[in-house]
Structure formats: structure tokens, C-alpha cells
Homo-oligomer: A and B are copies of this chain.
Amino acid sequence: MSVIARRVHLAQRPIDLPDGSTWSVRDSELESPVDGEVLVKVTHLSLDPAMRGWLNDVRSYVPPVAIDAVMRASGVGTVLESRHPDFNVGDSVTGLTGIADHAVLRGEHLTHIDLSVAEPATWLGALGMPGMTAWFGLFDVAAAKAGETVVVSGAAGAVGSVVGQLAKARGCHVIGIAGGPDKCAWLTDELGFDAAIDYKQGPVHRGLRDMAPDGIDVYFDNVGGEMLDSALRALRLGARIAICGAISTYNATEPVPGPAHYMSLLVNRATMSGFLVFDYEDRYAEAVDGITALMADGSLVAREQVVQGHVDDFGDTLLMLFSGANTGKLVLALQ
């Protein structure tokens, strides 16, 4: 079987926010799968803050997306044709499909998903990379323990919303930082956070002083910039900061100042660690089991913002991440 795939290529590197000139949408005939390969019809695409970093021509944890290459992305889809023994036509799978409506991938780069456990979009959110990131960042990197005060930034996002709920389930006192009263109300009223700080309403360091007068034990950072600096000022003795991302800085065109209060690490004998979820790949099953169990007993709500559209809508939809327009995991469902 040969198919025409509609795909989004990187046309040129953006200076600040990506725009129409960043992308080029093209139809290409895919080669039929050879031995070991699988043809997937993509139904759902994951839109991630990290995508912005992949567009810059700098050394990072993965190579930048090359000019003219198909934009890197995780997706969920259905097997149309398989030449790999582990996959059958009709199977539901997830993997790095790229921004495309069809993709040919090697079987070892695909994972089966069980749609009786959760919707496709959830397999890109709470049960996908964001959920894995939350689990290992909170429990392994930050080593959050019952009774501790945990603060998470980007708390209404795909990772942050899971971090806060996992911390609650572990018995922590949880404070989320998010933008706007609706997101903050969602955190406390729907997700069970103990408190929320609206960073649009005033300085975060004041919010932390009010909400966590005794300081914080764990800060899970998705935002970077000034918010990280505010958290540094609020650390308790022995605090741990897990650096997951820095969405506030990804579109910066000027050098971004570093966290001026980093010497709080010394005063408080605290630790700040960066991590990447890919390093925990051989333990994903542990996190999927843990999160599935919490979803089943109602103590964890997986939320996705699913935009219905076509691969052509990728560029515009991606911008929602940087304007703060999404709540929960942002997914583009292909119609």
C-alpha cells in the first residue's frame, strides 16, 4: 500500500514566535513499509512546549529539527499496514510520528496503547510524555515526600497538572502557579490543589510568601525566568528544584537573565537538578501503572484540550502554548 502523507516541514528557523513563514505543508508519497516497518494513520498529535527548543540551531538534548525535515512530534494512530511481527492492522499505537497524517515507522519505535484504559489524547498527556515527566520529575528527581510543600509552575499545563495531582496523592501540600483566575480555580476546585497563585495578579514571590510562609520543599519548574527566581527566594532547608522546562524563555530574542537568587541553594543546602524524561524510558511502565491506578480511583483527572483540525492547523495551534491559551495537554485531533 502506498499513501500520500500530508506533512508539516520546517521551512525556516523562527526568531521569536513561530509564524506562517516557519512552516511548509506538503503532500508526499510515502514508500511502502519494508520488513520491520509499520504504516500508521495518525489520528492525534501532541503539541509540546519543548517543540520551540527543537527549532533552534543549538546543541541540546536532541538535535535540532533540520531545515526541510518533517517537524518532530509524538502522535497516536492506527496501524494500516505492518511488516513487524508485534503489530497488526488496526492496532492503536503511539510514537514519534512527526506532524503528519500518515507515517512509516520502525516497529521498535512504536508502543501499543490500550484505548479501553484511556482516550487517545490521554495517551499523549497523563499517560504519555507529560505524565512520565511529572512522575519521574516529582518522585525521582525532586523526591517529594508526604507532608512536604510542593510548588509547581505551569500548573494548568500538561505536565504541571499531573505533578500537582501526584503530589496531592502522595500527601503533599500543593501550590500551583498559573495564569488567570479560571486556571487557578480549576486547580483548586477540580484538581484538589491546596492553593493557586495567579502570576498575572502580582509578583509570585509575594504569593509564595503568603501561601507558603514557612517556605517550600519542592519546586517543579516548567516556566523558568522570574518564576524560578521567586521560588529560589522561598526555599526551605534541604529543598529540591526539578528543572523540567522554561517556557517563559523559549521565544526570547535577547539573552535571558539567570536566576539571581541561586545562592539560596547554599543558604538552604538545596539542590537544583535538570532532567529529561527519556532517561527513564525503561521505567515508563511503572509510571503508567501508577497514573492509571490514580485515574481509576478518581484521584487524578487527566485533562486534554483537543483541537479538531488538520495537519495544516499545527502552526496556529502550537501558538496556544505560548499565549497561555490551553488548559491541560494540548492535542490536535486529525479529522
Any chain B CB within 8 A of the CB of A306?
no
User: Would you call A276 and B266 a contact (CB within 8 A)?
Assistant: yes
State whether A260 and B263 are in contact (beta carbons under 8 Å apart), knowing that A268-B274, A269-B279, A276-B269 are contacts in the complex.
no
User: Which B residues touch A260, using CB under 8 A?
Assistant: 255-258
User: Would you call A245 and B266 a contact (CB within 8 A)?
Assistant: yes
Any chain B CB within 8 A of the CB of A148?
no
Any chain B CB within 8 A of the CB of A30?
no
Report, as a range, how many residues of chain A touch the other chain: 20 to 34
Q: How far is the CA of A6 from the CA of B261 in the complex (A)?
A: 38
| A59 nearest CB neighbor, chain B only | B267
For A61, A263, A275, the residue with the greatest tally of chain B CB atoms inside 10 Å of its CB is A263
| A271 nearest CB neighbor, chain B only | B273
User: Which B residues touch A60, using CB under 8 A?
Assistant: 267
User: Would you call A263 and B224 a contact (CB within 8 A)?
Assistant: yes
- Contact with A258, one of B245, B261, B270 (Cβ below 8 angstroms): B261
Can you name 13 extra interface pairs (CB under 8 A) apart from A243-B263, A271-B271? Answer: A59-B267, A246-B263, A246-B266, A256-B260, A257-B260, A258-B260, A258-B261, A258-B262, A263-B274, A266-B274, A269-B276, A269-B279, A271-B274
- 13 residue pairs of the A-B complex, CB under 8 angstroms, read A59-B267, A224-B263, A243-B262, A243-B263, A243-B265, A244-B266, A258-B258, A258-B262, A259-B262, A266-B274, A266-B276, A269-B273, A269-B279
Residues of A within 8 A of B (CB): 59-61, 224, 229, 243-246, 249, 255-276, 279
